Chain A
Amino acid sequence: MNATLETTQTVPVKEPKTYLTEGHTLKSWLLTTDHKRIGLLYLYSLLVYFTIAAIAAALMRMELITPEGDLVTSETYNKLFTIHGTLMVWFFLIPSIPAVLGNFVIPMMIGARDVAFPKLNLLSWYIFNAGGLLALYSVLFGGVDTGWTFYTPYSSTYANSNVVTMAAGIFIAGFGTILTGLNFIITIHKMRAPGMTWFRLPLFLWSMYATSVIMVLATPVLAMTLALMAIERIWGVGVFDPKLGGDPVLFQHLFWFYSHPAVYIMILPGMGVISELITCFARKKIFGYHFVAFASVAIAVLGFLVWGHHMFVAGESVYASVVFSFLSYMVAVPSAIKVFNWTMTLYRGSISLETPMLYALGFIGLFTIGGLTGLFLAAVGLDVHVTDTYFVVAHFHYIMVGGMVTAFMGGLHYWWPKMTGRMYPEKLGQLAALIMYIGFNLTFFPQFVLGYLGMPRRYHAYAPEFQIYNVMSSAGASILGVGYLLPLIYFIWSLKHGKKAPANPWKATGLEWQTTSPPPKHNFHETPVVTGPPYQYSPEETEMALHQSTNEKRAAP
């Protein structure tokens, strides 16, 4: 008894332990089962994959400044776009919001101490990185030149590159994705705090739930498809190569049966983040909560039924194309509903334009353009002309970069104080968001025109009349690069020099804000009890508080 008293007296006032100060050894990180630490582990590894994939993109944009293939060889160029596609899709976009932000905030948002299976969560990270390292090995030692789509029979018979190693990497990483999805589904089902009913869940959780279902159901199909492709390549078992009695279009059916739902893995979590940001920075309850929630579910379900729209000119039947076209229009409806509801949420709000909100507004703008150009592609007659051109490249970058990456950046800024206990520099944050927005549009908008003019994608050299738009695009990419580097620098800077973050810097209503920043190891000292719906913001009170504080400031001197 005396001894404990003595220690408390000799040690100066100590800050309460947070999840970051629970052990500083490498082991304490690599063997952690804390969902928050695992979220950060994902963040670090994603940064590596993203950087390599971004360098590949930068080299491609440099090559494309001139019509001639003069900077790198065709072989190298083909490897560059394969690095860019595979790493960005499987090792950055798919895990981005789910594995980093999802891992970090899902348990806190529902008032839980951790995910349902913390050890499995750590295992997912190891599996993911085992796959990632294999993928990195395959691109850095020899390279892969099939593109991220691995179309047969090129991949299975003709390509002379590390196809099987790369496929194995993606195959393995897929199990990490499946386990993460499983963990989230069970966590959301079983770990909710008392009073946290389904319709009191923040919308981020609805979208993460829908995403997790897709992860669990779709990823096995990818694993199967890549395995079949590898079996054909290694042992010559005829599945896809017509010379061996296979059907190359079958590969595309299987591949897109996974990859189209995967597109929704790459946007639904972003939509969830936006619902959190818009409500918080407009101080408004979300407009049409149920519609936004069920729109996520509808997207997840319909997303499984539209894969054939990638194959309108691939040799599928005319009537299949027509049906897939119709279903593709249908899946656009719930996305439209979300955009309308976000806009309506701003009505009579008290809107402040901090960095996360700038990203959220950027998301609405870019996602709307991405969605509308999706309508062009869903029209079979028009798709015949623009498919496999830069129009498609521009469209999916608007969704995946303009949408998902923008939402990821918004969410990262929003939860940064919670994750690190530090504030990022606000003015620089706003500047970076603006730079990213300008750079993004300059990079990708010209590509719509380029595509309609007829420039095919994956072209190392191109016809001279396409040059002007390629130069614009490359110029935009360099601005976009600055927009990514700047946050990287000030985020690192803020870890040491940033202002200390209060528990709830945004005065947000989510449960994750009711604990300290950064939170203790088990998130809450007492399990919170939920008594009402989410987003109980009041714009009037916010305005009143603002008035009072300005009046006090005026009165102070």
Chain B
Amino acid sequence: MKFPLLPDEASEAARQTDYLYWAMIGISVVTMAVVFVPLIIFLFKYRRGKKADRSPVELPEMKIEITWTVIPLIIFTGLFAWGTKVYFKIERPPPDAMEIDVVGKQWMWKIQHPEGKREINELHIPLGRSIKLTLASQDVIHSFFLPEFRIKQDVVPGRYTSLWLKANKLGTFHLFCSEYCGTHHSAMTGRVIVMEPAAYEAWLMHGETGPSLAQSGERLYRELGCSGCHENSTIVHAPPLAGLFGRTVPLQTGQFVTADEGYLRDSILLPARDIAAGYTNDMPSFQGRVNEEQLLDLIAYIKSLGAPTPNNSPTEAK
């Protein structure tokens, strides 16, 4: 019979989390000793009927109280700082991370690689590369949990969340949904398969490979009629999309917003929300006309449009 204490460590982040975990256990054991050892001694020494010195003593109450207020305060502040440091490390993806999209729906995970490979309840990733997952939900809140990487992130409908990881171990690992999402919540599980980079490349090309996400997005862009307004040749005045992604966009309200995935998503579904400066709200909402996967395709296409053309001044975005 096996009594495992920790899941595998499949990333450096997992190791960092485990260090913190062991330190916490160490501090807990010391604290328990500090409380329980005197407590047990008192229980034996001052048990009723046992001879002991019980005469009242004047203890320096204030000093004692301050001591056991300040010492925990210092320890707690230290733990806070450590926990925050680990958090920042697992929260911020490195800029060169490879991107993979994940859509959660009752009760499965749909995963799409930028090259067009799509899979269900399985996530193949190459060893040693930073990977940023963009998470979207088609229905309720799910949570993407990889215990061997010590990371999880809720997948919230109506917005994008993200998670990043860098595997340093080959193998197959758990994928769980950890936010209760309805009847078959506990069946919404899958596997992460970490492969050698070369094997990953081969896997990407193997079997059923559709068009890349950007290509699918471009097809949608034509089919849905986006191109009718967003390309320079038209009479309707709509912001050009080339080079939009990642730029700071001034809004009609005088505020500024970074054109990230979330902004693009909102602009497609809720076009009236943030109107770029210099434009009017002529765009219809595409809510209900595109699903989460198609949205991600469209965004992949907009991202693929690359750097702004020289005659596009930054104020003309959207």
Contact = CB atoms under 8 A, between A and B. Distances in A.
A247 B186 CA distance: 25
A247 B182 CA distance: 19
A16 interface: no
Given A74-B187, A348-B52, A372-B28, A288 B61 contact: yes
Interface stretch (A376-384, A407-415, A487-495): A376-384
9 contacts: A151-B179, A153-B157, A315-B161, A329-B80, A337-B69, A347-B42, A368-B31, A384-B17, A463-B174
A378 B65 contact: no
Nearest to A459: B186
A351 B42 contact: yes
A351 B46 contact: yes
B301 interface: no
A539 interface: yes
A364 interface: yes
A543 B54 contact: yes
B198 interface: no
A25 B152 CA distance: 59
B133 interface: no
Given A282-B46, A546-B49, A454 B181 contact: no
Given A248-B141, A546-B49, A376 B21 contact: yes
Contact of A350 (B46, B59, B157, B176): B46
Contacts of A385: 17, 147, 150-152
A351 B5 contact: no
Given A368-B35, A461-B187, A546 B48 contact: yes
Interface stretch (A191-199, A225-233, A318-326, A497-505): A318-326
Interface in A301-354: 312-315, 318, 321-322, 325-326, 329-330, 332-333, 336-337, 339-341, 343-344, 346-353
Nearest to B6: A452
Q: Which 3 pairs of residues, A with B, have the shortest CB-CB distance?
A: A242-B158, A379-B83, A454-B147
A325 B174 CA distance: 28
B7 interface: yes
B43 interface: yes
A475 interface: no
Interface string A384-411: 1101110000000000000000000000
Nearest to A292: B65
B72 A243 contact: no
A154 B140 contact: yes
Nearest to B135: A315
A381 B86 contact: yes
A376 B150 CA distance: 14
Given A287-B61, A322-B84, A381 B89 contact: yes
Given A381-B17, A382-B21, A468 B76 contact: no
Given A381-B20, A539-B46, 13 more contacts: A78-B183, A153-B139, A248-B158, A288-B61, A315-B156, A348-B54, A350-B48, A369-B28, A372-B32, A376-B21, A376-B24, A385-B151, A454-B174
A456 interface: yes
Contacts of B21: 376, 382, 452
Interface in B80-113: 80, 82-91, 106
Interface residues of B, number: 88
Interface string A149-193: 101011001110000000000000000000000000000000000
B101 to A, nearest CB: 17
B79 interface: yes
Contact of A158 (B59, B69, B72, B140): B140
A110 B106 CA distance: 56
A458 B182 CA distance: 10
Interface in B15-52: 16-17, 20-21, 24, 27-28, 31-32, 35-36, 38-39, 42-43, 46-49, 52
Interface in A360-379: 361, 364-365, 368-369, 372-373, 375-376, 378-379
A75 B183 contact: yes
Interface string B126-166: 00000000000001110101011011111011110100000
B80 A378 contact: yes
A288 B65 contact: yes
A69 B76 contact: no
B80 A325 contact: yes
B73 A389 contact: no
A340 B87 contact: no
B129 to A, nearest CB: 21
A378 B83 contact: yes
A462 B186 contact: yes
Contacts of A282: 46
Nearest to B177: A456
Contacts of B254: none
B6 A384 contact: no
B266 to A, nearest CB: 11
